[in-house]
Amino acid sequence: MAFELERVLYETEDFLRRNLRSRSAREAQKRRAQRKFREAIRRMRRAGFILVALLLALVLVSIFVVEIGFLTWMVALPTVLLVSLMSLFWPSRRAVQLAAETPVVPLGELAVRAEDGLIDRSKELPGRALPAADAIIARLSELQPHLDTLDPRSTLAGDARRLIGEHLPRLVDSYLELPPSRRGPAAESTSRFTESLDIVGQELDHLIDQCCRDRHLSFETQRRFIETRYREDPHLKGE
């Protein structure tokens, strides 16, 4: 009876965690939807250019080269329309560039891929691990604008690349490769996996501090200047 009650409690907790995702997870899903929307707009714009260019080419050929007959137009117009529609299924140039296998993926793009990977696999993760996964998603989003400013040859950039591009995905993959019986809400492997995600989140916090060290120093410099320059100003004291 006690075991059955414990199982029900675990399942209830898992259900609640899955359906009450954090704000960071919702914002990450919104960012991914925006990226997909921008990609769709690029494809639609390209399809429009292809349609106009092919129609213009047909008109110019008909005027300056050889007159195109009615039957030819009847075949050419559906063909042009079909080619334009098919182009909607081709990745845009930007998507191809981002998906291309390059020797070194930019760190900012690596963070985006890690964020998308966690979102894609969140349904497979145990509910108990979702808060830690959501925290990692939030930190990855915060890191993205700072990672591309790092010197790719620096030690910090190397640490970030290994953590975000290698260690985090391997951790998730290795856990999901376990038998289902070892990935239950009450399984010891689930508890250890959650602890490991917490450690990754803490390390990402450390990376944020390291990436923003110069900004912190700049802020402290300006803060000390303001305090030194104006704290004893009699005009500010109403004297």
- Domain positions in the chain are 1-100, 104-239
- Does the pLDDT at position 98 exceed 60? no
8 A C-beta contact, residue 204 and residue 179 = no
Lowest-confidence range among 48-62, 74-88, 161-175, 219-233? 219-233
For the whole prediction, is pTM greater than 0.75? no
- Predicted confidence at residue 101, as pLDDT, reads 46
pLDDT at 203: 94
The mean pLDDT value of the chain amounts to 80
d(CA 176, CA 182): 10
Cα–Cα dist 135/21, whole Å = 11
Residue among 126, 151, 136 nearest 211 (CA) = 151
* pLDDT tens column, 164-179: 999 999 999 999 999 9
Report the length, in residues, of the chain: 239
Mean pLDDT check: name the lowest of 71-85, 86-100, 149-163, 173-187.
86-100
Crossing angle of helices 155-162 and 107-121, rounded to 10°: 20
Residue found by looking up tokens 């919702």 in the block: 26
Average pLDDT, stretch 93-102? Answer: 52
Question: In terms of C-beta density within 10 A (0-12 exposed, 13-18 middle, 19 or more buried), how is residue 125 classed?
Answer: buried
pLDDT(7) > 70: no
* pLDDT tens figures, 20-31: 566 777 777 777
Which pLDDT belongs to residue 235? Answer: 57
Local confidence band at 198 (pLDDT 50, 70, 90 cut-offs): very high
Residue in the structure block whose two tokens are 């998906």? 99
